[in-house]
Amino acid sequence: MHDTPYIHPRSKGCILCMRCTRVCPSGALQPVADDEGETIQKHVKMGIAAIDKNICNSYNNYACGVCVRACPFSGVALYAETWEKPVVNKEKCVGCGLCEQACIHYPQAIRVTPIAMVKG
């Protein structure tokens, strides 16, 4: 596990710049072309975001939606229902963590679970 890269979303989410793939010496990280996001959504899967409705402002009478606006695939991977209630599309979420970084609630009401820890 030593030196294994990981993302700490509350500090900084992944902006999908692919620069890590340029310096990876083993080829474990491969670049993915950016064609308006479709290829990235298909091939990048670092984790999946989930919302804790018990503490999310929008699910508790205070319309927020900050996380939806922070998502690079807003409206696709993360979209808003009435009163800015965020909803994750698990098929499209890449696990970048930018929603978790942006969440105005503390502790975060939206968090990314690493893909290796996602059940089933």
Residues near ligand SF4 (CB under 6 A) are: 49, 51, 56-58, 64-67, 71, 73, 77-78, 84, 86, 88, 93-99, 103-105, 109-110, 112
Between 18 and 110, whose beta carbon lies closer to ligand SF4?
110
Q: Write the Ramachandran bin of 65: left for phi over 0, alpha for psi from -120 to 50, otherwise beta.
A: left
Cβ proximity of 70 and 35 under 8 Å: no
Least distance between ligand SF4 and beta carbon 120 (Å): 18
Between 1 and 97, whose beta carbon lies closer to ligand SF4?
97
HEC secondary structure over 75-114: CCCEEEEHHHEEEECCCCCCCCCHHHHHCCCCCCCEEEEE
Least distance between ligand SF4 and beta carbon 7 (Å): 10
Least distance between ligand SF4 and beta carbon 16 (Å): 9
